[in-house]
Structure 1
Amino acid sequence: MSTAIARQELRQNLREQRANLPAAARIAAAQGLLQQLQQLPELSVDERIGGYFAVNGELSLHLVVAHLWRQGKQFHLPVAARARQLRFARYSAASTVQPNRFGIPEPQVESKELVSPASLELVLVPLLGFDRRGHRLGYGGGFYDSSFAFLQQTERPATPLLVGIGYSFQEVATLAPESWDVRLDFIATERELIDCTPA
């Protein structure tokens, strides 16, 4: 079986597991996630934080976002450009959001208000699967890898710090990275905060 086919089968399997998660488990996971992320000093120190709007059963950041807003932090959501590049838009309780071409809600802002991935300090990254070395199984579009490719030329951890967010059942023993994959620095689940930086 080719690596591409194996990845597609793994994606499908993890999507199904995530879709079948009961509502009570999702709520408990969101609470657990906040507790785990609070162990990360950057969550308290950094001012410009990127995240995502949970869709299709992704682990919700709503409690994390509320926590950041209470601390006066700037929270940003990704906006998908045409060339597989993400820009980020500041998101607040007053923001207007509209689904993009993938059905993912994006803040409606002027293009001049968008900020580059490199201008963020901490980014919470959605995923379908992960291993403990920081390898991420994404959705196949390549948006995150191309947007944060500049980190591949930098000694890690660097700025922004990349923290993958997923349920503990999304962990797999090992993922074979592609040459373009950008490694995560940490992974946060509802149960633990995993440090993926080399010893």
Structure 2
Amino acid sequence: MSNTPPVSAVSDLVRHKSELRRQLRQARQALSPQYRRQAAQRVAKLARPYLKSGRRIALYQAYGSEISLQPLLMLARQQRCRVFLPVVPKRGRRLSFTEWQPQQSRYRNRFGIVELRGVALAAKKMHTIFMPLLGFDLQGYRLGQGGGFYDATLAFRRHHQHLQQPRLVGVAFACQQVAAVPTEAWDLPLDAVLTERGRRVFSSLRSRLRDNA
């Protein structure tokens, strides 16, 4: 018997995700500029445990209504971390990461997001990856934009669940929490999530996945 879900179930899942993304974008866009600035500062403070000197830290350039990581970038630099930003490939979906420098040459990729010119490293070389998201739940699952870039980039973590690196840390506003993220076989849970209301670690979930592998 095939394990492939029926077409109707797949269609329902796609519609559910699409509607959930629409609702979460609206909730995020409704936040005031002042609230957004304060939330970004709060998230940076909560990220301190990950900011050890010499660590390779992957951040992202906020796009649209995503929470800004600019305060986190500056704090990571103060802590002598090496900061990297994602690079979208011309083909495929596997991201790489280029190190941030103050006077570095920059350009906009096909999505209009700022990227850096320079030598790119694979995700496996990062100690921590701070990831954007549209929604998350208390099981550690993340709802992204739907492009599948982080899923493709981090697939090795699902196939090698004993790995502790890179840590996967979602960053969001608290209003992006949902009761349950619709999941599929390739979805990889986060190790932690940061919002303006606190830090939640999902290490127990990671252990359960290893036990069931």
Normalising to structure 2: TM-score of the pair?
0.87
Structure 2, gaps ≥5 residues long: 1-10, 206-213
Given residue 40 of structure 2, which amino acid in structure 1 is its aligned partner?
Answer: A
Q: Does 1:47 align with 2:47?
A: no
| Structure 1 position 176, deviation (Å) | 2.8
Given residue 61 of structure 1, which amino acid in structure 2 is its aligned partner?
Answer: L
Query: Which one of 90, 97, 104 corresponds to residue 106 of structure 2?
Result: 97
- Contact 1:131 1:174 (C-alpha < 8 Å) held by counterparts: yes
Runs of 4 or more, structure 1, over 3 Å off, are none
Label 1:95 to 1:171 Cα distance change in 2 as closer, same or farther (>3 A).
same
- Contact 1:130 1:175 (C-alpha < 8 Å) held by counterparts: yes
Instruction: Write out aligned runs for 1:150-165 (5 A).
Output: 150-155=156-161, 158-165=164-171
Instruction: Write out aligned runs for 1:27-38 (5 A).
Output: 27-38=37-48
Instruction: Write out aligned runs for 1:1-199 (5 A).
Output: 2-38=12-48, 40=49, 42-44=50-52, 47-81=55-89, 82-109=91-118, 113-155=119-161, 158-198=164-204
Given residue 204 of structure 2, which amino acid in structure 1 is its aligned partner?
Answer: P
Superimposed CA distance per residue, residues 101-129 of structure 1 (whole angstroms, 9 cap, x where no aligned partner)? 011111122xxx11000011100000000
CA-atom RMSD, angstroms? 1.5
The residue matched to 1:25 in structure 2 has which SS? Answer: helix
- Contact 2:17 2:182 (C-alpha < 8 Å) held by counterparts: no
- Contact 1:48 1:73 (C-alpha < 8 Å) held by counterparts: yes
Instruction: Give, in whole Å, the separation in 2 of the partners of 1:34 and 1:137.
Output: 22
Greater displacement, 12-21 / 141-150: 12-21
Identical counterparts, % of pairs? 34
Label 1:157 to 1:192 Cα distance change in 2 as closer, same or farther (>3 A).
farther
Normalising to structure 1: TM-score of the pair?
0.92
| Structure 1 position 155, deviation (Å) | 3.0
- Highest RCO, 1 vs 2 (Cα 8 Å, sep ≥ 6): 1
Instruction: Give, in whole Å, the separation in 2 of the partners of 1:151 and 1:12.
Output: 29
Superimposed CA distance per residue, residues 43-68 of structure 1 (whole angstroms, 9 cap, x where no aligned partner)? 22561010100110111111111011
Greater displacement, 176-185 / 49-58: 176-185
Given residue 5 of structure 1, which amino acid in structure 2 is its aligned partner?
Answer: R
Given residue 13 of structure 1, which amino acid in structure 2 is its aligned partner?
Answer: Q
- Contact 1:65 1:75 (C-alpha < 8 Å) held by counterparts: yes
Structure 1, gaps ≥5 residues long: none
